[in-house]
Amino acid sequence: MFRRVNDGVPAGGPFTHQRVIYALVCLGWKSFPLFPGLKLPSLPGQVDELQCLRRWEAGLCSPSRDFHRQLATVREVTATSRHYVDRLFDPDPQNVLQGVIDMKNAVIGNNKQKANLIVLGAVPRLLYLLQQSSSSLELRTECAVVLGSLAMGTENNIKSLVDCHIIPALLQGLLCSDLIFIEACLRCLRTIFISPVTPVQLLYTDPTVIPHIMSLLSRSQHTQEYITQIFAHCCKTPEHQMVLFNHGAIQNIAPLLISPSYKVRMQALKCFSVLAYENAQVSMTLVNVLVDGEQLSQVFARMMQRDKPIEMQLTAAKCLTYMCRAGAIRTDDNCIILKTLPCLVRMCSKERLLEERVEGAETLAFLMEPDIELQRIASVTDHLVSMLADYFKYPSSVSAITDIKRLDHDLKHAHELRQAAFKLYASLGSNDEDIRKKITETENMMDRIVSGLSESSIKVRLAAVRCLHSLSRSVQQLRTSFHDHAVWKPLMKLLQNAPDEVLVMASSTLCNLLLEFSPSKEPILESGVIELLCSLTQSDSPALRVNGIWALMNMAFQADQKVKVEIVRALGTEQLFRLLSDPDTNVLMKTLGLLRNLLSTRPHIDQIMSSHGKQIMQAVTLILEGEHSIEVKEQTLCILANIADGNTAKELIMTNDDMPQKIKYYMGHSNVKLQLAATFCISNLIWNEEDGSQERQDKLREMGFVDILHKLTQASDPSLCDRAKTAMQQYLA
């Protein structure tokens, strides 16, 4: 950092060293050493001064009179700031104490003063005094208070403090027995840890810290408030959850839910929401916890009462949502269905703050994602579907004209609101056809999704495509609104260049758009989608491979010869066979599905088999011999049955030494589905009225198939029985 500054300063000039110092300050140089004899000319504390300086440095202007006047005022301020720092070095401890106390009074609410002191190197000295066992307890406490006050300033202040290793120093301070001192340290730690610039991990580096902090929970209402607030902010990963959980966070924090202090109750509640998030172990433990003889879910339900502060209602609803999603509470439990769900719907209402509406919608989307009953209830609760339409109206046209502050606020939240609404729509419409209809009928819904797909914010794009995906499960919507709004266009654009998570959703949506009844199928085909999909099948992500091959499978269903040939050409047999040995069963299944779709209608079968017959027969053999699930084998036998339906392709089976034996084996399999598919295959081979049917019948009779078929006519499964009888008739005719 220093070097960069040096580079930037032109050599020579009237104020060279001053400018270096200025620049250091500008760039956040924290504890500038106080060279003896070096008089600091002044220190800028305000942005405009810095800008002025930069402009001056860049040669854009000469130092104005105004600038000189500013220098003069800054000089005064700095003189007093330096005085405070100097007093920290006084040999008389009493003077030091008084100095710290004066400093405390000087910095309160004064960000400029805070920055000055930090620049002048007050922090290392304060930390030194705080850590010295020779310092009086009073001095150490005052030091912690001043540091806490410095931390209350800007984010830069926090960075400076963290860089001075304030966190280990304060954590060390917690080992002291004096409560007042502990509280001061915790308060400062709290302020530092709730800042987004502080690395959360610093709380967990020393494994003895968490158990010790946990033990301080019983000391006072203040320790409770600060500690729970620290935990609530520093629990960001499953590892953090487990560390806190293993050190008894639940048992220690649960009683705080009925603390007389609102702040403690609220922070304790927040702790539970971060602990339970996607954590089954924590959630399962929580349901069995009693607070003052009452179940925790009851306590949370009470915190959702409508006269409680919104923050509390929302956080309690989050706790219950996470517990429910982790399987600890059933979705049909009254506290979910009659309390949590309505509470979250209320959070989406226009009366709530924008932040609350975002959180409410996201939590609600998460809660009901897997449960159709909750989706149905939510869809009729308080006009939720039309209530969400309002999320797209920010910034409102009114705010732009009348109130700049409001506009700024609206702009900040506009993306968040839109993505939250899309998520909630996606969740609402994921199962029920009526709800999907209701959503698409909401004002301008499809237009909103279409424009959401091309928004600059990734979050919005992802949510929009999720929403589209959810709605694309509806046959009716695919036929109507999806086609009317040409959603495939932005979707295709999105697929060209997007992060994987967007690609997964977009390609999955595309799969649905390529279903044979979708009117969008034609234009998509014409837009050269095949290459794109083929490239997806080469992705490292199994989800993308599945979607790619799935889309191709849908595309091949009842497709023209031209399309089929194009698919085989673009994909290449090599890739096709690579996919047939894919470790992901889903990929394998869809690839088989693609093959099956390719091998339908006689001319197509013969055409493809004539060019790729050898490889396909190999692949089929390989799968039938390998360790695969029933579904995979069934699908493969179906392919074989299709091959058996071809005119020339039949011979590939008949001339294969092994294949009839394999079919025979599966006709006698214990699984009815496999028996059925294998019987189908034979039935196709011996079908009358086709060239060479007599020979094949004879050959297969020799191999003992008539006996097997005869046996199968006695099968208990009616469809198998029918199929066997039909096959037998071919012999009788």
Partner 1 sequence: MSGPSSGCGFLMSVVVHGDLALNEQEKELNQRLKRLYPAVNEQETPLPRSWSPKDKFSYIGLSQNNLRVHYKGHGKTPKDAASVRATHPIPAACGVYYFEVKIISKGRDGYMGIGLSAQGVNMNRLPGWDKHSYGYHGDDGHSFCSSGTGQPYGPTFTTGDVIGCCVNLINNTCFYTKNGHSLGIAFTDLPPNLYPTVGLQTPGEVVDANFGQHPFVFDIEDYMREWRTKIQAQIDRFPIGEREGEWQAMIQKMVASYLVHHSYCATAEAFAKSTDQAVHEELASIKNRQKIQKLVLSGRMGEAIETTQQLYPSLLERNQDLLFMLKVRQFIEMVNGTDSEVRCLGGRSPKSQDCYPGSPRLFNSPVHKASSSQTYQTGTAEVEMELDHFSNGVSESSSNGFLNGSSTHGIDLEECDGDMGEIIIWRQLCGGSQAAIERMIQFGRELQSMSEHLRRERGKNSANKKMLKDAFSLLAYSDPWSSPVGYQLDSIQREPVCSTLNSAILETHNLPKQPPLALSVGQAAQCLSLMARTGSGSCAFASVDDYLH
Instruction: Between 315 and 554, name the residue whose CB sits nearer to partner 1.
Output: 315
Instruction: Between 125 and 339, name the residue whose CB sits nearer to partner 1.
Output: 339
Question: Min. distance of Cβ 585 from partner 1 in angstroms?
Answer: 40
Spatial separation of the C-alpha atoms in residues 181 and 202, rounded to whole Å: 21
Tell whether residue 338 is a contact of partner 1 (CB under 8 A).
yes
Which H, E and C letters describe 178-199, residue by residue? CHHHHHHHHHHHHHHHCCCCCC
Helices (H), 88-208: 93-107, 111-119, 122-131, 137-151, 155-163, 166-173, 179-193
Cβ(468)–Cβ(487) below 8 Å: yes
Q: How many residues form the binding site for partner 1 (CB under 8 A)? A: 12
Of 9-17, 380-388, 461-469, 504-512: span binding partner 1 (CB under 8 A)? 380-388
Question: Min. distance of Cβ 341 from partner 1 in angstroms?
Answer: 8
Task: Indicate which single residue of 382, 408, 500, 691 sits in contact with partner 1 (rule: CB under 8 A).
Answer: 382
Question: Min. distance of Cβ 432 from partner 1 in angstroms?
Answer: 12
Task: Indicate which single residue of 306, 350, 405, 562 sits in contact with partner 1 (rule: CB under 8 A).
Answer: 306
- Residue 294's H or E segment, with its range, is strand 294-295
Give the single-character DSSP code of 335.
I
Cβ(189)–Cβ(170) below 8 Å: yes
Instruction: Between 117 and 316, name the residue whose CB sits nearer to partner 1.
Output: 316
Provide the token pair at 30: 């924290």
Of 250-258, 305-313, 608-616, 657-665: span binding partner 1 (CB under 8 A)? 305-313
Tell whether residue 383 is a contact of partner 1 (CB under 8 A).
yes
Question: Min. distance of Cβ 352 from partner 1 in angstroms?
Answer: 13
Question: Min. distance of Cβ 451 from partner 1 in angstroms?
Answer: 26
Long-range contacts of 617-625 (CB under 8 A, 24+ apart): 617/643, 617/652, 617/653, 617/656, 617/659, 619/577, 619/580, 621/656, 621/658, 621/659, 621/662, 622/580, 622/581, 623/580, 623/592, 624/662, 624/666, 625/662
Spatial separation of the C-alpha atoms in residues 72 and 54, rounded to whole Å: 18
Instruction: Between 425 and 488, name the residue whose CB sits nearer to partner 1.
Output: 425
Question: Min. distance of Cβ 444 from partner 1 in angstroms?
Answer: 17
Helices first, then strands: H and E counts in the chain: 47, 2
Instruction: Between 61 and 338, name the residue whose CB sits nearer to partner 1.
Output: 338
Tell whether residue 404 is a contact of partner 1 (CB under 8 A).
no
Of 266-274, 376-384, 421-429, 666-674: span binding partner 1 (CB under 8 A)? 376-384
Tell whether residue 372 is a contact of partner 1 (CB under 8 A).
no
Spatial separation of the C-alpha atoms in residues 550 and 533, rounded to whole Å: 9
- Residue 291's H or E segment, with its range, is strand 290-291
Helices (H), 497-584: 500-513, 521-526, 529-536, 542-556, 561-571, 573-580
Of 131-139, 275-283, 302-310, 460-468: span binding partner 1 (CB under 8 A)? 302-310
Tell whether residue 380 is a contact of partner 1 (CB under 8 A).
yes
In total, the chain counts a number of residues equal to 733
Instruction: Between 174 and 341, name the residue whose CB sits nearer to partner 1.
Output: 341
Tell whether residue 562 is a contact of partner 1 (CB under 8 A).
no
Of 137-145, 336-344, 361-369, 504-512: span binding partner 1 (CB under 8 A)? 336-344
- CA triplet 292, 294, 297: central angle to 5 degrees? 130
Question: Min. distance of Cβ 715 from partner 1 in angstroms?
Answer: 45
Tell whether residue 307 is a contact of partner 1 (CB under 8 A).
yes
Spatial separation of the C-alpha atoms in residues 676 and 727, rounded to whole Å: 12
Of 30-38, 378-386, 618-626, 712-720: span binding partner 1 (CB under 8 A)? 378-386
Instruction: Between 20 and 377, name the residue whose CB sits nearer to partner 1.
Output: 377
- CA triplet 491, 494, 496: central angle to 5 degrees? 115
Instruction: Between 382 and 500, name the residue whose CB sits nearer to partner 1.
Output: 382
Task: Indicate which single residue of 168, 342, 370, 519 sits in contact with partner 1 (rule: CB under 8 A).
Answer: 342
Tell whether residue 443 is a contact of partner 1 (CB under 8 A).
no
Question: Min. distance of Cβ 311 from partner 1 in angstroms?
Answer: 14
Long-range contacts of 309-313 (CB under 8 A, 24+ apart): 309/262, 309/266, 310/347, 310/352, 310/353, 310/356, 311/266, 312/265, 312/266, 312/269, 313/343, 313/346, 313/347
Spatial separation of the C-alpha atoms in residues 564 and 560, rounded to whole Å: 6
Provide the token pair at 431: 């199962």
Question: Min. distance of Cβ 381 from partner 1 in angstroms?
Answer: 5
Of 187-195, 215-223, 382-390, 671-679: span binding partner 1 (CB under 8 A)? 382-390
Tell whether residue 381 is a contact of partner 1 (CB under 8 A).
yes
Question: Min. distance of Cβ 378 from partner 1 in angstroms?
Answer: 9
Question: Min. distance of Cβ 338 from partner 1 in angstroms?
Answer: 5
Question: Min. distance of Cβ 319 from partner 1 in angstroms?
Answer: 18
Residue 306: count other Cβ atoms within 10 Å of its Cβ: 9
Of 195-203, 381-389, 486-494, 710-718: span binding partner 1 (CB under 8 A)? 381-389
Task: Indicate which single residue of 287, 377, 458, 728 sits in contact with partner 1 (rule: CB under 8 A).
Answer: 377
Question: Min. distance of Cβ 334 from partner 1 in angstroms?
Answer: 9
Provide the token pair at 696: 């094949």
Spatial separation of the C-alpha atoms in residues 435 and 450, rounded to whole Å: 19
Closest to 589 measured CA to CA, from 597, 479, 535: 597
Instruction: Between 434 and 531, name the residue whose CB sits nearer to partner 1.
Output: 434
Instruction: Between 77 and 377, name the residue whose CB sits nearer to partner 1.
Output: 377
Question: Min. distance of Cβ 345 from partner 1 in angstroms?
Answer: 8
Tell whether residue 298 is a contact of partner 1 (CB under 8 A).
no
Closest to 74 measured CA to CA, from 108, 116, 33, 44: 44
Instruction: Between 154 and 295, name the residue whose CB sits nearer to partner 1.
Output: 295
Closest to 349 measured CA to CA, from 391, 405, 298, 302: 391
Question: Min. distance of Cβ 375 from partner 1 in angstroms?
Answer: 13
Instruction: Between 174 and 301, name the residue whose CB sits nearer to partner 1.
Output: 301
Of 127-135, 159-167, 303-311, 554-562: span binding partner 1 (CB under 8 A)? 303-311
Coil vs helix vs strand at 290: strand
Question: Min. distance of Cβ 308 from partner 1 in angstroms?
Answer: 9
How many Å from the N-terminal Cα to the C-terminal Cα in the chain?
A: 93
Task: Indicate which single residue of 80, 94, 305, 610 sits in contact with partner 1 (rule: CB under 8 A).
Answer: 305
Give the single-character DSSP code of 691.
T
Of 193-201, 338-346, 470-478, 687-695: span binding partner 1 (CB under 8 A)? 338-346
Instruction: Between 233 and 438, name the residue whose CB sits nearer to partner 1.
Output: 438
Cβ(537)–Cβ(529) below 8 Å: no
Cβ(637)–Cβ(685) below 8 Å: no
Closest to 67 measured CA to CA, from 131, 6, 15, 13: 15
Question: Which residues are near partner 1 by CB under 8 A?
Answer: 305-307, 338-339, 342, 377, 380-383, 387
